[in-house]
Amino acid sequence: MNEKVSKFAAGSGAAPTGAAQSRVPAEVRDLTKTYGAVTAVDRISFTLVEGTTVALLGGNGAGKTTTIAMLLGLVVPSSGEVRVFGEDVSRHRGRVAHRMNFQSPYVDLPARLTVKQNLTVYAGLYGIANAAERIAYIAQDLQIAPLLDRATGKLSAGQKTRVGLAKALLNAPDLLLLDEPTASLDPDTADWIRHKLKNYAETRGATLLIASHNMAEVERLADRVILLDQGRIIEDETPAALIATYGRETLEEVFLDVVRGRARGESDRAERERKAS
Amino acid sequence: MSTARDRTEGAVPIVLVPTGLGASLRRIGALLERYMFLLRSSGIRLVELLYWPFLQMLTWGFLQTYLAQTNSPVAQAAGVLIGSVLLWDILFRSKIGFSTTFIEEMWARNLGNLLISPLRPFELVVALALWSVIRLSVSMIPVAFAAYLIFGFNLLDLGLSLAAFFAVLVLTSWSLGLISAGVILRYGLGAEELAWSLAFLLLPICCVYYPVSVLPDWLQPIALALPPTHVFEGMRAILLEHRFDANDLWWALGLNVVYLVIGYVVFGRFLASARVNGTLLQLGE
């Protein structure tokens, strides 16, 4: 399996560092993260193109969350470079933080505060001048208006996800990073969330990067899939191209081929052997 | 100054410019609002703020009353023990306020959200420091008033020096709070005990209840290198000898500046280390 450099890369010149920020949402170059002897992310490179939705796919420990954390500036790379809108997030995260946001079921909002209080605080942190108007709009859009005065900790998983998404959309981010946005949700709620994300990306022209295990989600949302295995990029294609390349019918079958170590072209043979046995 | 961005969805957020003093103050204000929401969310928290300082004051107040009935002139000096307790509580409660508020973000698994927002680390520190003073006021003003009603001890008898004592103790508490927060950032909630116990490390050395002269010779320079020692010595000088040494207090404030710089550097280093070691991903889990 060879490491791949994204064919979606929008040029290889140095990102601008002046006041005018780059239109390229994210550029990752030779990004590596090691923890002692463990290499979590191994020399990956890709570029996110404005207005596209990209899925980071991979098994547990493939490096998805670490990659997102480096894009957010929560983790410093061991080597390589991460630029968001042209800014090196390891050094100048503050210049672009207001244009990004993040949602994950593994990061909570304070449980004791009501939903409205939490959203008010984050509206303040993101510098949203028309906070009340924006919160009212988002609450209506994500159907959380009846929850606004309830303690966040007393909500169901589905309700918490919607509230987390409300927080992530408060500043209408140009780059939205999502870590398993529909984990532990029932199919109906998960489908509803996907619809909202797709709608947001289309109306806003925003760029989405989604780490997920859910193939249905990826097939529905993603324009492009980056497959990670043991910290390396092993595929970077559109979902349709991946399915065609591996000779499979679904992305889930492709994913299984990849995590079980079957390279392109081997899948048909493996399938025949499985049926024969 | 604001910039509305071009987009087609409804209720467009007007995102203010994220840099400059105004933006920093707005974010600090947002955090203070969050802490206020949290305090208001539980009456128990409010009671807890008063409970321990009140018990401390009562215990030491009664001891003071008992000692006053003996022939010891020192024991009979007005309010030395209660004064010590109240001033110690300013240091201790302010430190706890700083650290607890920080740890709450980790208990709530909210730190990740804060650290990816436009909030800068120094803004978080300023918000924690300001909130520690607000918490302290909620806690200590009623208790100081109760000390006056029950034991006739008026903290305001310390005069203008009280404001200086207060400043020295609060500044020291921030240094300790910064170091605790940094250690917890780096090592996670396993180091939480440090947040509670760090101030107690100072208790025997900074001479809360006895003069510096009681300490062994080799320990006295260490005690004098701690700003709170000058506060407690100063308080005893006022109450027992009716004199106030301003130079001593300036010395304490100078030391505080040094310790605050050290505290912020330690916090910054541990935060950087947490970003390198990836511990910010696991905090609170």
The DSSP output letter for B257 is: H
Report how many domains make up chain B.
1
Buried/exposed A114-125: b ≥16 CB within 10 Å, e otherwise: bbbbbbbbbbbb
Rounded to a whole number of angstroms, the CA Rg of chain A reads: 19
Domain ranges of chain A: 26-259
φ, ψ of residue B210 to 5 degrees: the values are -145, 160
Classified as helix, coil or strand, A80 is strand
pTM: 0.85
Q: How far is CA B127 from CA A182, A185, B121, B180, B254, in A?
A: 34, 36, 10, 16, 23
The DSSP output letter for B238 is: I
Tokens standing for residue A179:
């870590």
Rounded Cα gap, residues B104 and A129, in angstroms: 27
Q: Which residues of B touch A132 (CB under 8 A)?
A: none
Side-chain half-sphere CA neighbours of B56 within 13 A: 22
| pLDDT tens, residue by residue, B228-264 | 999 999 988 888 888 888 888 888 999 999 999 999 9
ipTM exceeding cut-off 0.85 for this assembly:
no
With CA atoms as reference, report the closest residue to A150 among A114, A113, A110, A112: A114
- pLDDT, residue A267, reads 54
Q: Which residues of A touch B30 (CB under 8 A)?
A: 121-125
Q: Is the CB of B17 less than 8 angstroms away from the CB of A127?
A: yes
| pLDDT tens, residue by residue, B137-181 | 888 888 888 888 888 888 777 777 788 888 999 999 999 999 999
Check residues B129 and B17 and name the one with the higher pLDDT: B129
Confidence of residue B201 (pLDDT cuts 50, 70, 90): confident
Q: Is residue B9 part of a domain?
A: no
Q: Is residue B13 part of a domain?
A: no
Average pLDDT over residues B38-59: 84
Rounded Cα gap, residues B56 and B45, in angstroms: 18
Which residue stretches of chain A have pLDDT < 70? 1-20, 262-277
Rounded Cα gap, residues A220 and B217, in angstroms: 76
Q: Is the CB of B281 less than 8 angstroms away from the CB of A72?
A: no
Q: Is residue B1 part of a domain?
A: no
With CA atoms as reference, report the closest residue to A12 among A83, A64, A75, A62: A83
Q: How far is CA B112 from the centre of its chain?
A: 24
Classified as helix, coil or strand, B26 is helix
Rounded Cα gap, residues B10 and A191, in angstroms: 22
Query: Which of B18, B109, B275 has the CB atom closest to A76's CB atom?
Result: B275
Q: Is residue B16 part of a domain?
A: no
- pLDDT, residue A17, reads 38
Q: Is the CB of A73 less than 8 angstroms away from the CB of B109?
A: no
Query: Which of B11, B33, B278 has the CB atom closest to A35's CB atom?
Result: B278
Does A125 touch chain B if contact means CB atoms closer than 8 Å?
A: yes
Q: Answer whether residue B282 shows pLDDT above 80.
A: no
Q: Which amino acid is at A135?
A: I
Q: Is the CB of A66 less than 8 angstroms away from the CB of B278?
A: yes
Assess if CATH 2.60.40.10 describes domain A26-259: no
For residue A24, the distance in angstroms to the closest alpha carbon of chain B comes to 17
The DSSP output letter for A114 is: B
**Host domain of residue B93:** 21-281
Rounded Cα gap, residues A76 and A53, in angstroms: 24
- pLDDT, residue B10, reads 59
Share of chain B above pLDDT 90, in %: 40
Contact A33, A43 (CB under 8 A): no
